[in-house]
Structure 1
Amino acid sequence: MAEETVEVNGGQVVYEFVGPEDGEVVVLTPGGRFSKDYGGVHELAGALAEGGKRVLLWDRPNCGRSDVQVYGRSESHMRAETLGLMLEKLGIERVVAAGGSGGARDMIVFTQLYPEKVRKLLAWCIVGGTYSVMSLAGVYIMNELRTVRAAGIEGVIKLGGVAGGGWAALCADNPRNADRLRAIGAEEFERVMTRWLDAFIPKPNESIPGVPDWEFDLVKVPTLIVRGGEKDYDHPKRTSYEVHALIKGSRLVEPPWPEDAWEVAAAATGAGRGALFDFWQLGAPEFLKYIDE
């Protein structure tokens, strides 16, 4: 299916389907501010499609070619709301919610906010722990706050970044975004970024950023959690155990990829030889088996 757009909360969301039209819909959500077209995402989608699934890929707001959105309790909560409203507009009643890294957090929050729309939840490479969470504050928020305070919204429009590119890349990929940011303005942008920063302040009652532990009681669907890698400091082993403990009845499985897959992918990406999510497709057999149970 060709790429399409749908309007949600006054912004355009870019999406596409991969796989047979009569397959069960699996929403596949990558991490960072990476597009649905980032390396490894389509490869996993294709593998799931070969297993009969209809995979929904989407550029979350502030990713790829979708319109920027700056509102809500956290960026993940804003994206979860966007997905819920998007599914309503597309006439899709229930999905399998699947995501890795930041996408795992987005799908956990989505399941909490829209439990009636989720049949099963799959999460891997889950962010948590002091180092990982504080690192993301630098990736997503601190440069934004410094820039908007020093150079206003025009500075934000020119701001580069990592983990999928900065706001300059979003404006280059989607020319509407510069005007959308100007309409938001420096004052509101700073206000929301300050609120979003709170999600990345490590707290003893938050195993994953921005989600109090008690809210995991809202997840009542069958859930598969992939254990974090032994030395994956961005997606710690400990966090996967904590999330498993918090979601009653969840299943924790050993990684379906090498123990050091994230570290190897990060090194290869830094050397220009691949993408961070290249190894995700190795999880397709395990994911399909769980979905079909």
Structure 2
Amino acid sequence: MEINGGNVVHEILGSSGELVVLTPGGRFSKDIEGLRPLAEALVEGGKRVLLWDRPNCGASDVQFYGRTESHMRAETLKGLLTALGEGPCVIAGGSGGARDSILTVMLYPELATRLVVWNIVGGVFGSFSLGAYYVVPSIQAVLAKGIDGLFDLPEWQALIAANPANEARLRALDKDEFLQLMLRWLDAYVSKPGQTIPGVEDLDFAGIRVPTLIIRGGRDDRHHPKRTSLEVSCLIENSELVDPPWPEDAWERATEDRAAGRVDHYNMFDTWVQAAPLILKFLS
């Protein structure tokens, strides 16, 4: 479906029940290992689940606009739900998907009945890691070779392989405009007073009025600190904070396994299905 000038790939699981929008983290697609088992568990619990490839993820078109990449995704989700004739519904997501979900409810409160988030990114290390991984390589590539430099990066190569139309969309970018946008997106990951999560003002949390479930970050999770979850729970008045159903260091161990090439042993999102009972209980 075309939303804001770009095609957004999506699917809805289940035939009846309230709709849950389920958003993964990073620039991972809806087909990342571990996400569908959670979606299927929610369907078994009587829900419908919308899975979607956000812009710059999976088989959807690449797009570049907005104050931050998460602001762009929130605007895209609003357009998608409106075009589908869905909403208000449950907005849920983990890691970067938690930030996308929070922003969606902040900016478009009419879309949400409830909010469910986990693995919320925050802190100096977590925020800087995102900027270094998702933004800095593209800036360096374009500074060195112009827009052609993007085609040397595995991330954009993968998105072209998943959706060949993305090659033309990338080649059509203006170098200077792209660099300006990337620098703005990078600035969101610079830790600032009054921003518990990257690129989002603490004052804007007052706009979240729906019941909210927060599954806190692990005690030993440097990417999604426990402290960030506690602070977000303080900022959302009508929120419930619960302990994670997975090990306190699950994300760090998965990161080690992934770096060592042991992806068949433990994927970053494999534990997420364990949140299904907590989510279903909250929604009931």
- TM category (shorter chain) comes to over 0.9
Q: Is 2:77 the partner of 1:89?
A: no
Identify the residue that residue 104 of structure 1 maps to in structure 2: 98
Of 116, 123, 129, 1:129 maps to: 123
Q: Which amino acid aligns with 2:2?
A: E
Of 33, 50, 61, 2:55 maps to: 61
What secondary structure does 2:17 align onto?
coil
In the alignment, the residues of structure 1 paired with residue 18 and residue 42 of structure 2 have an alpha-carbon distance, to the nearest angstrom, of 10
Identify the residue that residue 10 of structure 2 maps to in structure 1: 15
Q: How far is 1:211 from its partner?
A: 0.1
Q: Do the aligned partners of 1:17 and 1:57 also contact (CA within 8 Å) in 2?
A: yes
Identify the residue that residue 276 of structure 2 maps to in structure 1: 284
What secondary structure does 1:200 align onto?
coil
In the alignment, the residues of structure 1 paired with residue 143 and residue 252 of structure 2 have an alpha-carbon distance, to the nearest angstrom, of 35
Q: Is 2:226 the partner of 1:231?
A: no
In the alignment, the residues of structure 1 paired with residue 214 and residue 157 of structure 2 have an alpha-carbon distance, to the nearest angstrom, of 34
Q: How far is 1:158 from its partner?
A: 2.6
Of 244, 266, 269, 1:255 maps to: 244
Provide Cα deviations, 1:67-114, integer angstroms capped at 9, x if missing partner: 001000000000000000110000002110000000000000000111
Identify the residue that residue 199 of structure 2 maps to in structure 1: 210
Provide Cα deviations, 1:243-293, integer angstroms capped at 9, x if missing partner: 00000121100111122221222233332223210000000000001011x
Q: Which amino acid aligns with 1:119?
A: T
Matches within 5 A, 1:16-31: 16-19=11-14, 21-31=15-25
Q: Is 2:270 the partner of 1:272?
A: no
Identify the residue that residue 199 of structure 1 maps to in structure 2: 188
In the alignment, the residues of structure 1 paired with residue 156 and residue 101 of structure 2 have an alpha-carbon distance, to the nearest angstrom, of 23
The percentage of counterpart residues that share the same residue type is 56
Q: Do the aligned partners of 2:222 and 2:252 also contact (CA within 8 Å) in 1?
A: no
Q: What RMSD in Å do the two structures reach over aligned CA positions?
A: 0.9
Q: Which amino acid aligns with 1:236?
A: P
In the alignment, the residues of structure 1 paired with residue 228 and residue 93 of structure 2 have an alpha-carbon distance, to the nearest angstrom, of 15
In the alignment, the residues of structure 2 paired with residue 224 and residue 93 of structure 1 have an alpha-carbon distance, to the nearest angstrom, of 19
In the alignment, the residues of structure 1 paired with residue 40 and residue 237 of structure 2 have an alpha-carbon distance, to the nearest angstrom, of 31
Q: Is 2:140 the partner of 1:146?
A: yes
Q: Do the aligned partners of 1:25 and 1:54 also contact (CA within 8 Å) in 2?
A: yes
Q: Which amino acid aligns with 1:253?
A: V
Q: Is 2:36 the partner of 1:42?
A: yes
Provide Cα deviations, 1:140-160, integer angstroms capped at 9, x if missing partner: 111111111111111113312
State the TM-score, normalizing by the size of structure 1: 0.94
Q: Do the aligned partners of 1:157 and 1:171 also contact (CA within 8 Å) in 2?
A: no
How many residues in Structure 1 have an aligned counterpart in Structure 2?
Answer: 281
Q: Which amino acid aligns with 1:88?
A: T
What secondary structure does 1:257 align onto?
coil
Q: Which amino acid aligns with 1:44?
A: L
In the alignment, the residues of structure 1 paired with residue 114 and residue 252 of structure 2 have an alpha-carbon distance, to the nearest angstrom, of 28
Q: Do the aligned partners of 1:24 and 1:95 also contact (CA within 8 Å) in 2?
A: yes
**Mind listing any 5+ residue stretches in structure 1 that lack a counterpart?**
1-5, 161-165
In the alignment, the residues of structure 2 paired with residue 30 and residue 188 of structure 1 have an alpha-carbon distance, to the nearest angstrom, of 28
Provide Cα deviations, 1:141-183, integer angstroms capped at 9, x if missing partner: 11111111111111113312xxxxx111111111111111122
Of 148, 158, 162, 1:173 maps to: 162
In the alignment, the residues of structure 1 paired with residue 146 and residue 81 of structure 2 have an alpha-carbon distance, to the nearest angstrom, of 35
**Mind listing any 5+ residue stretches in structure 2 that lack a counterpart?**
none
